[in-house]
Amino acid sequence: MIATFDIVPVSGVIGAEIHGLDLARPLDDVTVRELRRAFNEHQVIFFRDQQLSPEQQIAFGRRFGELGTHPYVAANPDHPEVIDIVTEPTDRVNFGGGWHTDVTFLPEPDLGSILYAVELPPYGGDTLFSSQLAAYDTLSDTMRSLLDGLVGIHSAGPQYGGAGYSTKSTAMVTKAASDAAASRVEHPVVCTHPETGRRGLYVNPAFTVGIKGMHPAESKALLSFLYAHARAESLTCRFRWQPGSVAMWDNRSVQHYALHDYQGHRRVMRRITICGDRPR
């Protein structure tokens, strides 16, 4: 049995649209296996014209693993697996603005996220995605040799601590000023994707606060270079949302950036996340 859907790449390095599936319906095992293959290959996959209730979105996500919850962001009151990402017309900044990889401050960060468009502004609000596998591949041999074996230090503090950026800028953050937000975890600067075996960068400006064993100035200089390199246009794709659109991205190999170029308008998205393992 062969899964019956079409895959249309949206750039040369990352992203593909999937056509011919209704995610509100239960998917057979063959389709799920082929979707996972497309997910691993393209790192972020997009679906159009979907009509998903929270329950249907949750059921779809569970075909790829156990679903997680966010330690600092309020969940949907009826569905603890769901985050309603709401940007109001008067908000100065949005949730998810700026390049980042989700929750790398956790010992076992999310495998991926599934985001569904509920209400969109009349313009703007695109999301950018960047391949961290391609970012690693396009470094020099010398730089790759330097990075292999280095360990990054990650923390929720800069975003979700008492004076964190997200704490001050969005009402979605409800449990920010905690000891947990200031704690630190360590992950390799370069990780191996557990399903494809490809190597990729695993640092991001939202949550990586240093490199183990380096002086702060050394760490800052190296991370600044990696951040700039990791978001080069040649490594990215850009997704224009439409009502009913879905994006599913691989948090193990992707950074993303939710643009906030629609001030004065409302945007509502619904997100679930798939639990992951410790990066290696």
Measured between alpha carbons, how far is 191 from 200 in angstroms, rounded to an integer?
6
Catalytic residue among 91, 102, 110, 250: 102
pTM, two decimal places: 0.94
Summarised one tens digit per residue, pLDDT across range 94-136 is 999 999 999 999 999 999 999 999 999 999 999 999 999 999 9
Task: Kindly state the greatest CA–CA separation across the chain.
Answer: 56
Q: Is 256 a catalytic residue?
A: yes
Closest CA to 237 of 8, 6, 12: 12
Closest CA to 206 of 227, 183, 235: 227
Cα atoms in the 13 Å half-sphere on the side-chain side of 262 = 23
Q: Is 154 a catalytic residue?
A: no
Looking at residue 260, its pLDDT comes to 97
Catalytic residue among 42, 187, 256, 267: 256
Catalytic residue among 42, 70, 100, 199: 100
- 213 by DSSP, 3-state: which? coil
Summarised one tens digit per residue, pLDDT across range 170-204 is 556 665 445 567 789 999 999 999 999 999 999 99
Summarised one tens digit per residue, pLDDT across range 128-178 is 999 999 999 999 999 999 999 999 999 999 888 765 545 445 556 665 445
Looking at residue 168, its pLDDT comes to 46
For the chain, the domains span: 6-274
Closest CA to 151 of 180, 112, 182, 185: 185
Looking at residue 180, its pLDDT comes to 63
Question: Topology of domain 6-274, per CATH?
Answer: Double-stranded beta-helix (3.60.130)
Looking at residue 165, its pLDDT comes to 47
- Per the prediction, the chain carries an average pLDDT of 94
Summarised one tens digit per residue, pLDDT across range 9-39 is 999 999 999 999 999 999 999 999 999 999 9
What does the pLDDT average to over 42-55?
98
Q: Is 102 a catalytic residue?
A: yes
Contacts of 224 (CB under 8 A, 6+ apart): none
